[in-house]
Structure 1
Amino acid sequence: MNSPSELDRINQVAWNSPDAARVFTLDKTYSDPGEQAAFDWLAPRCAGEPLLDIGVGTGRTIPLMTAISNDYTGVDYTLKLLDLAKARYPERDLRHMDARDMSALPSGHFGLAEFSWNGIDCVDYDDRVRILEEMYRVVRPGGYVLFSSHNRGGPGYRENIWQLLPRFTFNPLRLGWRTLHSVRRFQLGTLNYLRNVKLNHDYGRYAIKTAAAHNFGIVIIYTTLGEQRRQLAQVGLQSDAVFGSCAGDRIADDVEESNAWWFHFIAHKPLAAYRFD
């Protein structure tokens, strides 16, 4: 592993924060309708297969994955979150591991490798490719990868610090409560935004930008449909389906723009795959 980039360093600070632990342990099943649609598509194709859950965090996806197969391995590079997952699911095989280097896992073994909640967006572009190459390596020929990624053309890309201000209401008590609630968030969000905004850059096919989540405490990649499809092909994966986050609709192969907040990409390793084998 190379030394972490500034983007990586910023995001690892966020994942080790109390806010991340709180958010990731909220009772939740699917993150959005698109994730549910993707799991519904994959479940009959991966039933009983060995499954790899990348970026398992505090364990939200463990019940979703083990509903498909009990042959399960979960990994995460944030030890603090992984320890929470281990406490919740002590019977599961959960390992401290970075998705950019999963050399401890066998090649051509898993029927599905999934990376949820846009975790692949939290490293720089070159490391994103390394993660996809590792996902390619560990799945068997014919096996699938699933990951979510923020949409360069979606509403999340247009978020800004002004949304942290309290929403106006003519009810003075409610306005007062909203103002008190937003004071700390606005101060912290502004500080994080000003610290991280220097990393913002729009490359057209994708962009790097400080995101509203965790009080503007993370910097992530936003991709376009065309760029992500190209990147999948670059590492040898064949695209199967893309689902939008908002309504869980399947996005047609010839569509280049969407208003979804993020996408769920499904691709597979060709049966005659020799790129890394």
Structure 2
Amino acid sequence: MNPTSDLDRINQSAWNSHDAEREFTLEKTWTDAGEAAAFAWLTPRCAGTPLLDIGVGAGRTIPLMRALSTDYTGIDYTEKLLELARSRHPGVDLRHMDARDMHALPSDHYGFVEFSWNGIDCVDYEDRMRILREMFRVTRPGGYVLVSAHNRDGPGYGETPLKLLPRFTPNPVRLGWRVLRSLVTLPVATTNYLRHISLNRDYPGYSIRAAAAHYFGIVIVYTTVAEQRRQLAETGFVNDAAFGSDRGERIADDANTSDAWWVHYVAHKPA
């Protein structure tokens, strides 16, 4: 299999699955402390400006974004999830659109553009850069972007189905439940993992790996913090801050990020 051509097919199939629908319609606010910290940093800088929400899914981020401004547009390339978002948030401007080609949206317009929950990791490097260039185009001078991405130096990199083996507990009821759950999920995860590991690749600064989410049903990109900052700078953005998913603390340039599963990057378009 070709990792470039198959990434989209595999991941879009996962987004249309029942497991994705269940996961994306859970009543969540922030994905983690890092996302909350990034929004807190951005709020005084972006309140009241036009907002663009990329990869809106079933609508988790809609109330978070609209708390900043009601001048809001959300897009997603998965029609099934977008319909869920429309049913849950009637009257909101939600459009079926691929972030790699947002030509229907105006240039130099949005004061805040976000792509949350590591959505940018679900396409290959070339498409990732296309998305960043499109985000740069639609962001107004002085406006901000927020992108989250899986951390190649973090604990999630290189996971295998062994993580689904039941953890011991002295509580017999809880242990029995964990064993039963593993008997159901482990065969599915192992089958998906073995099917997808042929796509695993390593490159300077980033890697492609079968990932644990949706029972190893997706294949994603993991980047180092330095590489993601480099990609943003290459696109034209100025890096402002990065927040780790684990504790929500701001990440310094020389910080050890081994405990951050993913990182939230804040950058702005020069005025």
Partner of 2:176: 176
Residue 23 (structure 1) aligned with residue 23 (structure 2): yes
Q: CA deviation at 1:202?
A: 1.8
Partner SS for 2:157? helix
1:36-115 pair list within 5 angstroms: 36-115=36-115
TM-score (norm 2): 0.96
- String of CA shifts for 1:173-196, please: whole Å, max 9, x gaps: 433322211112101101100110
Q: Residues of 1 paired with 2:80 and 2:215: CA distance?
A: 20
- For residue 39 of structure 2, give the secondary structure of its aligned residue in structure 1: helix
Residue identity matched to 1:152:
R
Partner of 2:270: 270
Aligned residue for 1:222, secondary structure, equals strand
- Cα 1:223–1:179, aligned 2, differ >3 Å: closer, same or farther? same
- Assess if the C-alpha contact under 8 Å between 1:239 and 1:268 holds in 2: yes
Measured against aligned partners, the alpha-carbon deviations of 1:143-184 in whole angstroms (never above 9, x if no partner) come to 111010000000000321101122233444433322211112
Residue in 2 that maps onto 1:275: none
* Aligned partner letter, 1:78: T
Amino acid at match of 1:185: T
Give the 3-state SS of the residue equivalent to 2:21 in structure 1: helix
Q: What is the number of residues matched between the two proteins? A: 268
Please list every run of at least 4 consecutive aligned residues from structure 1 whose deviation after the TM superposition is greater than 6 angstroms: none
Partner of 1:155: 155
**Structure 2 portions without partners, runs of 5+:** none
**Equivalent position SS for 1:156:** coil
> Which residue is 1:199 aligned to?
199
**Would the aligned equivalents of 1:29 and 1:60 in 2 still touch at CA under 8 Å?**
yes
Unaligned stretches of 5+ in structure 1? 272-277
Is the 8 Å Cα contact of residues 34 and 249 (structure 1) preserved in structure 2?
A: yes
Over aligned residue pairs, what C-alpha RMSD do you find?
Answer: 1.2
Q: Distance in 2 between matches of 1:256 and 1:188?
A: 34
Note if 1:235 corresponds to 2:241.
no
Q: In structure 2, the residue corresponding to 1:251 is in which secondary structure?
A: coil
TM-superposed CA distance for 1:204, in Å, is 3.8
TM-score (norm 1): 0.94
Amino acid at match of 1:82: L
Distance (whole Å) between structure 2 residues aligned to residue 171 and residue 259 of structure 1: 29
Q: Residue deviations 1:223-258, cap 9 Å, x none?
A: 001111111111111100000011100011343644
What is the rounded CA distance, in whole Å, between the counterparts of 2:245 and 2:220 in structure 1? 17
Three-state SS of the structure 1 residue aligned to 2:156 is helix
**Residues 35 and 243, structure 1, Cα contact 8 Å, conserved in 2:** yes
Indicate if the aligned counterparts of 1:224 and 1:257 stay in contact, CA closer than 8 A: no
